[in-house]
């Protein structure tokens, strides 16, 4: 069957063939000649994911649903006549672009690429444009929203970016998957340590609001916490354990970095002492770089206690990997990577994570079961995030996803060691149960407002972990076949 439409010439794809279609054909021909698996022509993801993305976008664009009665009296065209070009702040402009990237990306991937991928790209752009125009027109009748043609342009730009990313996945996805698989098989722990290090650097400096004036720089140095006793202090209005929870969570992340870095050095054949020293050095340098650069940002504060705790976390993780796991397994973890995560270690990590979540949920007024009532809940998901600024909401969402994603990883590893069937369902259930229990703790704490947002984000984090693990397994199987 021809690849570029129904009416094709014998030597090509007809006059309607586009540059994208030619590149796909040439790439597939080269792959076929070299014996490499070609890019699949069918859908790469289920259409359910595109529907979920559009539904989440509609929900987030209309929250808190304070709709004016005028929405029932007018028409769509009359609403469009009221739209103006309103320029939003930079953070809102970036958000308007970013939230439509998944729309273009998923719509292209959920459609088959038989014939021409241009067809899927056009459908994705039309879908993004239609959803954007409809939502902006609806926002004209929402009291807390402002509809704008400028937002439509930004939304269309985001959908276009998603389309091009999806086209790149269609063209080079097989090659990228093969490269990632080979990299993981050759140096698994070196790859993991690189990902962890980059993730810690990006998360530690987000939202990258670096100061540009001398006065702001001096202000960063004046507000820096140079004493180690700041570990015991919490900001006004925060839970009593907020400061120490953040510092211990950072120390735990750097302990993981030191752990995998030491294993990566042993994986390269270095001696135990050298592996330990290099892991500690690299971890402490990264911790120093992050804390040092926070002096020149507007939303972060340098904290010497955090630097010390993170350094201690690196030392503890590297020592445990080098002088406990490596010696206990006698190096067999190189052949069986699952041996680096014994059940006792996973249990301690899970207890540590849940304890930090519980401590962060406790309010400044203490906890009492009598405080738990239906009226203490904010039942509209994501409303509390919507009331914050865009950057604060993104930071809070990423923090929640990271916290429950790490819990999902630990629980999944525990289920895998026990060889539990359908473990991903059990992992998702357990993670959501933990998130629900944390919300109950918030409900009984004075000064805290529980809502379903954390439970939903915990569910999303567990699903992402499951899909990522499934993708890695599929890549390893496909590479073994190829």
In this predicted structure, what is the pLDDT of residue 42? 63
Confidence of residue 433 (pLDDT cuts 50, 70, 90): very high
Question: Mean pLDDT over residues 47-73, rounded?
Answer: 79
Among 308, 340, 372, where does a domain finish? 340
Alpha helices by DSSP H, listed for 14-116, are 19-34, 47-62, 76-81, 90-98, 101-109
Using one digit for the tens of pLDDT, what is the confidence trace for 237-256? 555 566 677 888 889 999 99
* Total number of domains constituting the chain: 3
Reply yes or no on whether the pLDDT at 22 is more than 60. no
Q: Are residues 254 and 323 in the same domain?
A: yes
Using one digit for the tens of pLDDT, what is the confidence trace for 283-324? 999 999 999 999 898 888 888 888 999 999 999 999 999 999
Among 145, 161, 180, where does a domain finish? 180
Range of the domain at 89: 20-180
Q: Are residues 37 and 132 in the same domain?
A: yes
30 contacts 40 by C-beta, under 8 angstroms: no
Cβ neighbour number for residue 278 with a 10 Å cutoff: 17
Q: Are residues 148 and 247 in the same domain?
A: no
The rounded mean pLDDT for the chain is 79
Reply yes or no on whether the pLDDT at 342 is more than 70. yes
Q: Are residues 176 and 192 in the same domain?
A: no
424 contacts 370 by C-beta, under 8 angstroms: no
Using one digit for the tens of pLDDT, what is the confidence trace for 156-206? 999 999 999 988 888 887 777 777 777 777 788 998 999 999 999 998 888
Q: Are residues 265 and 409 in the same domain?
A: no
Q: Are residues 174 and 198 in the same domain?
A: no
Q: Are residues 26 and 170 in the same domain?
A: yes
Q: Are residues 122 and 217 in the same domain?
A: no
Nearest one of 119, 72, 73, 128 to 101, comparing CA atoms: 128
- Rounded percentage of the chain residues whose pLDDT exceeds 70: 79
Q: Are residues 394 and 289 in the same domain?
A: no
Residue 218 or residue 456, greater confidence: 456
d(CA 365, CA 158): 44
In this predicted structure, what is the pLDDT of residue 36? 40
d(CA 65, CA 76): 18
In this predicted structure, what is the pLDDT of residue 371? 73
Q: Are residues 209 and 171 in the same domain?
A: no
Q: Examine residue 13 and state whether it is found in any structural domain, yes or no.
A: no
How far CA 221 is from CA of 130, 214, 217, 227, 243, in Å, comes to 49, 11, 7, 13, 19
Among 275, 305, 340, where does a domain finish? 340
How far CA 286 is from CA of 201, 225, 257, 428, in Å, comes to 8, 19, 10, 33
Residue 38 or residue 438, greater confidence: 438
Reply yes or no on whether the pLDDT at 482 is more than 60. no
Least confident span in 121-135, 156-170, 438-452, 468-482: 468-482
Q: Are residues 26 and 144 in the same domain?
A: yes
Backbone angles phi, psi at 67, to 5 degrees: -80, 140
Tokens of 82: 């009221």
Residue 12 or residue 454, greater confidence: 454
In this predicted structure, what is the pLDDT of residue 255? 94
Tokens of 79: 């609403």
Q: Examine residue 6 and state whether it is found in any structural domain, yes or no.
A: no
Q: Are residues 412 and 309 in the same domain?
A: no
419 CB-near residues (< 8 Å, 6+ apart): none
Residue 262, CA atoms < 13 Å, CB-side half-sphere: 28
In this predicted structure, what is the pLDDT of residue 233? 53
């Amino acid at each position: 069957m021809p690849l570029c439409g129904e009416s094709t010439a014998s030597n090509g794809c007809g006059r309607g063939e586009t540059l994208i279609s030619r590149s796909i054909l040439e790439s597939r021909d080269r792959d076929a000649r070299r014996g490499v698996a070609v890019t699949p022509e069918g859908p790469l993801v289920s259409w359910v994911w595109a529907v979920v993305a559009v539904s989440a976008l509609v929900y987030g664009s209309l929250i808190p649903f304070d709709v004016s009665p005028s929405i029932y009296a007018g028409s769509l065209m009359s609403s469009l006549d009221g739209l103006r070009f309103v320029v939003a702040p930079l953070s809102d402009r970036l958000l308007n672009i970013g939230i439509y990237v998944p729309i273009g990306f998923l719509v292209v991937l959920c459609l088959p690429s038989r014939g021409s991928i241009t067809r899927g790209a056009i459908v994705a752009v039309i879908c993004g444009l239609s959803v954007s125009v409809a939502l902006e027109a609806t926002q004209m009748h929402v009291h807390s929203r402002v509809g704008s043609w400028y937002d439509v342009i930004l939304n269309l730009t985001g959908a276009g970016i998603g389309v091009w990313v999806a086209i790149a996945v269609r063209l080079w996805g097989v090659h990228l998957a093969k490269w990632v698989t080979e990299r993981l098989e050759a140096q698994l722990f070196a790859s993991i340590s690189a990902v962890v290090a980059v993730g810690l650097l990006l998360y530690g400096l987000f939202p990258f609001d670096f100061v540009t004036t001398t006065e702001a720089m001096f202000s960063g140095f004046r507000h820096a916490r140079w004493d180690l006793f700041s570990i015991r202090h919490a900001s006004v209005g925060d839970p009593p354990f907020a400061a120490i929870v953040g510092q211990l969570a950072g120390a735990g992340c750097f302990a993981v970095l030191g752990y995998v870095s030491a294993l990566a050095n042993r994986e390269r054949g270095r001696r135990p002492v050298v592996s330990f020293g290099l892991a500690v050095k690299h971890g402490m340098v990264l911790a120093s770089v992050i804390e040092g650069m926070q002096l020149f940002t507007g939303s972060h504060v340098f904290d010497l206690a955090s630097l010390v705790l993170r350094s201690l976390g690196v030392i503890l993780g590297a020592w445990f990997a080098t002088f406990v796991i490596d010696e206990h397994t006698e190096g067999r973890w190189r052949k069986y990577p699952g041996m680096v995560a014994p059940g006792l270690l996973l249990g301690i990590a899970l207890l540590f994570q849940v304890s930090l979540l519980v401590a962060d949920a406790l309010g400044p007024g203490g906890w009492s079961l009598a405080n738990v009532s239906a009226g203490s809940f904010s039942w509209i998901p994501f409303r509390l995030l919507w009331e914050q600024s865009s950057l604060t909401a993104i930071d809070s969402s990423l923090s929640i996803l990271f916290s429950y994603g790490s819990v999902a990883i630990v629980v999944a590893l525990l289920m895998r060691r026990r060889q539990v069937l359908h473990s991903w369902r059990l992992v998702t259930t357990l993670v959501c149960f933990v998130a629900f229990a944390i919300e109950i703790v918030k409900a009984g704490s004075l000064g805290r407002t529980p809502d379903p947002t954390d439970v939903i984000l915990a569910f999303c984090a567990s699903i992402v972990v499951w899909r990522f693990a499934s993708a890695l397994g599929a890549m390893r199987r496909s590479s073994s076949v190829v």
